[in-house]
A and B are shown apart, each in its own frame.
Chain A
Amino acid sequence: MKDVELTHLSKSYDMQTEVLSDISVSIHAGEFFVLVGPSGCGKSTMLRMIAGLEDITEGTLTIGQKKVNDLHPSKRDISMVFQNYALYPHLSVEENIVFGLSVKKVPKTQRKKRCHRVAKMLGLTDYLNRKPRQLSGGQRQRVALARAIVNESPICLMDEPLSNLDAKLRAQMRSEIKQIQRQLNITMIYVTHDQVEAMTMGDRIMILNEGKIQQVGPPIDVYNAPANEFVAKFIGSPPMNLAKATIYPDNQTLSVVGRIHLQLPPEDIQRMGTKEVTIGIRPEHLQLATSESQQPGSSKFEVKVSHVEVLGNETLLNFEFAEGNWQAKWNGQWRVNVGDIVPLSLHYSAICLFDTTTGNMIKQPTQNEQHLIQGVSI
């Protein structure tokens, strides 16, 4: 098993602007590593550099302790799934799947055996003689997947493999890919622009923006403690609510456009050392203000609802706040009308604070709904 290690990796296509700058990350063997970021941030470029399809401008790439900067793609022990599948339209599904094996001159009987095994795993057995154009989008996706895993390479690279599928199929393929990865114990480097895929599939995720690493870590950690404003806005759906806020050290309060006033612990004021901050709060932490929610450290404020979405078992409230659109997410079905004035409360422990100038996080929320199932006996 081999780790993939990127050290101070940079890429520039035109020798002037850097598409990727100073990427250093270590991807462990057997890990599901997701590379996520908005489109155009350099995800594909990074993946293609690992594959060897793109030259490395600067830095080193090692696979299993061995420097592979100039190694041919076929010698890197990788397989790759392309965004539009890159199936050979003139070859049958079976020929597509065994293409790589034919190149490597694997004997015919073994080729057939391996092809059938993989086809069975992905439910493609009935389609082996068809041409790609006779398949549905989801089936083509499976063929691409089969082609990647039939090679039994320890490392698999995927570039937005699910972006051409509809939502339902996407959800199904997410879990299927994850299961295959676990079952075969391969190292997966998975590129997506969809934060839901990142959250649900990754053992660890790396958020990339404008060619720079924003944060690397397990999805839950990233969700709970986003390293900066970008990550806070990018991860989570609906995204985290952000607004400018000011700290008044004299009376130890934090004020958001004069509507939210929160008491701050003195040690936090000292530690943060800045007065202009950005406050961030997840929609699920904006709850209806009740009499018992009026405890020290919390603040109550009223908002005028501008839009309501009831999603079966949860309700999304939209409202204007501090020159932006904020959202609150409540469990259950709530009858709220547009234009209603709703009192909300939030607690200091639930908020994130970011340094307004650098955008970096200076206080992470301590109140997270973590549930553990302990000592369950049947």
Chain B
Amino acid sequence: MKDSLEMEQPILTDQPLSWWKKSLNIRTACLYLLPSFFLFAVFLFYPMAKTVYLSFFLTDQQGIANVFVGLENYQYLLQSESFRKSIKATILFVLYTVPTGVMIALALALLTNEKVKGIGIFRTMYASTMGVSVAASSVVWLFLFHPSIGFFNKIITAIGGESVSWLLDPSWALVSISVTTIWMNIGFSFLILLGGLQNIDEQLYESAKIDGASYLYKLRRITIPMLSPTLFFVLTVSLINAFQTFGQVDILTQGGPSESTNVIVYSIYREAFVNYQFGTASAQSVFLFLCILIVTIMQFKFGEKKVHYQ
């Protein structure tokens, strides 16, 4: 050990550091970044650039850019009745799913954060929707919503109500999809929120207990503020998820009836792969990207003030 130190020292001090040696840190860093940069480039940066590029063109059926049309694709979108409907459906869908989903997940997390025997069973149960694929759960809900043999209508008719065409009635279809989505997303939100709750020091509650604080008082003045970073994260992720919903729409309603569930990602899919209008589909994608970007930025700007980070 001692010998090797004595051997190396003269080399280090006598010769000036070469460029090759000085840049060692940078080169190491680049080496670490390379794999993820490569993946990002192939699966994110390139498609994004290509999408923006395509949105200025008319394309043929293979999606090859043919004629440069400038902003015409965007103009067309803004005048399109169908696109306006799609935006309305998306906004409604976000409003239906995000607040309700996060609230339910929070309520479940609060419930299961209590120290009760066998609470682990409930925690596993509530988190389990995370493990079910969109396709599988959509199929299950398809059966639940079935007009004649579906579980919901069976119950409604059993108690003397009139059966509802869940997925076929334009005024119900979006609600039905929202319910499905809330159910599917609860697992994730629940798990993250429960983790956040368990991170709060138990002694804070004990101290409040000695002061005589009620459950609601503790919830308002300790739990919610302490949980705010987690809540904020869950809210952001849920929002982005809601904007990008596709699978359940495709399986349950295919955007119908009368475009009432034609949320924007589904509309993009239809435009591109059913109507072969890659140009307008790309324009819609860019539009969606900008929407999510703006909403997320706004959320960070306004939300961050109310969030308490440790």
Q: Which parts of A51-101 form the interface with B (CB within 8 Å)?
A: 51-53, 72-75, 78-80, 82, 84, 86, 88-91, 99-100
Asked if B212 is an interface residue, CB under 8 A from chain A, the answer is yes
19 contacts between A and B (CB under 8 A): A53-B209, A72-B212, A74-B212, A75-B212, A78-B210, A82-B207, A86-B201, A86-B203, A86-B204, A86-B207, A88-B222, A91-B221, A99-B211, A99-B221, A100-B210, A100-B212, A103-B208, A103-B213, A147-B207
In the complex, how many residues of chain A place their beta carbon closer than 8 angstroms to a beta carbon of chain B? Answer: 24
Note all chain B residues with C-beta closer than 8 A to A91. 221
| Cβ-neighbour of B308 out of A78, A79, A90, A147 (below 8 A) | A90
Q: How far is the CA of A100 from the CA of B211 in the complex (A)?
A: 5
| CB-based nearest B residue for A79 | B210
Contacts of B231 in A (CB 8 A): none
Query: How many whole Å from B304's CB to the nearest CB in chain A?
Result: 14
Interface residue from A82, A86, A104, A133 paired with B212 (Cβ < 8 Å): A104
Q: Which residue of A lies closest to B218 (CB)?
A: A103
Query: B207 and A80: CB pair below 8 A?
Result: yes
Closest 3 CB pairs of A and B: A74-B212, A100-B211, A86-B203
A13–B218 alpha-carbon span in the complex (Å): 26
What residues of A have a CB within 8 angstroms of the CB of B213 in the complex? 103
A283 to B40, CA, bound (A): 71
Q: Which of B207, B208, B213 has the most CB of A within 10 A?
A: B207
**Quick check: is B177 within 8 A (CB to CB) of the other chain?**
no
Contact check, A84 vs B212: say whether CB atoms are below 8 A apart: no
A residues near B, CB below 8 A? Answer: 51-53, 72-75, 78-80, 82, 84, 86, 88-91, 99-100, 103-104, 133, 147, 151
Closest chain A CB from B207 CB (angstroms):
5
Q: What's the Cα separation between A75 and B209 when bound, in Å? A: 10
Measured between beta carbons, the chain B residues less than 8 angstroms from A84 are 201, 203
Known: A84-B203, A88-B204, A89-B310. A73 touches B226 (CB 8 A): no
A103 to chain B, nearest CB (A): 5
Cβ of B217 within 8 Å of any chain A Cβ, yes or no, is: yes
Q: Fill in one digit per residue for B225-242: 1 if any A CB lies within 8 Å of its CB, else 0.
A: 110000000000000000
Contact mask for chain B residues 191-207; partner A; CB cutoff 8 A; 1 contact, 0 none = 00000000001011011
A208 to B212, CA, bound (A): 30
A74-B210 contact given A88-B222, A89-B308, CB 8 Å threshold: yes
Given known contacts A72-B212, A84-B203, A86-B206, what 16 new A-B pairs fall within 8 Å (CB)?
A52-B210, A53-B210, A74-B210, A80-B206, A86-B201, A86-B204, A86-B207, A88-B222, A89-B226, A89-B308, A91-B221, A100-B211, A100-B212, A103-B212, A133-B310, A151-B211
User: Which B-chain residue is minimally distant from A80 (CB atoms)?
Assistant: B210
Q: In the bound complex, how far is the Cα of B308 from the Cα of A91, in angstroms?
A: 10
CA of A240 to CA of B129, assembled, Å: 63
Q: Are A53 and B206 in contact (CB under 8 A)?
A: yes
Q: Which residues of A contact B221 (CB under 8 A)?
A: 88, 91, 99
Let me know if B209 and A74 touch, CB within 8 A: yes
Interface centre among B212, B225, B226 (most CB of A within 10 A): B212
The 8 A CB mask of B243-258 against A (1 = contact, 0 = none) is 0000000000000000
A9, B207: Cα distance in complex, Å: 23
